Amino acid sequence: MLIVRLVMSHTFRIAALLLLGLIPICPSAVAAEDEKAESSRKVLDRVPPAYPDLARRVNLHGIVRVEVLIASNGKAKSVEVKGGNPVLADAAVAAVRKWKWESAPAETREVVEVKLESH
């Protein structure tokens, strides 16, 4: 009986993670996935995301789409998730907050996609 409970709870967790991957974080994410993200400011320093342990255990990978408000000095002022798996979203946001863009006369908004996969 204990083995059945362990298998069912593990199966339930995997099914829940897979289901979460199919539900966008915001309604506009479905439409936004068809658009190509074109950056007008060059990324000078792109910090790779730390792959979440939970995602590694269930072999979860994917792309997280975020919108970044970039200050004129090239640092991220705010990062907002626009689509992707919620299990991967925090790692993507944390990485993009550390990115550095080229300087510009004014702040800009950029949409970027962060790919997370196990190595």
The number of distinct structural domains making up the chain is 1
pTM above threshold 0.75: no
* Domain of 95, in residue numbers: 2-116
Q: pLDDT at residue 4 above 80?
A: no
pLDDT digits (tens, 9 = 90+) for 68-98: 999 999 999 999 999 999 999 999 999 999 9
Beta carbons of 68 and 16 less than 8 angstroms apart: no
Structure tokens at 85: 């798996």
CATH at residue 81: 3.30.2420.10
In whole angstroms, what is the distance from residue 117 CA to residue 59 CA? 8
Alpha carbon distance 65, 31 (integer Å): 12
Q: At what angle do helices 86-97 and 2-22 cross, to 10 degrees?
A: 60
- C-alpha pair distances (Å), 28 with each of 22, 34, 85: 14, 11, 14
Alpha carbon distance 103, 93 (integer Å): 21
DSSP 8-state assignment for residue 38: -
Structure confidence at residue 117 as a pLDDT band (50, 70, 90): confident
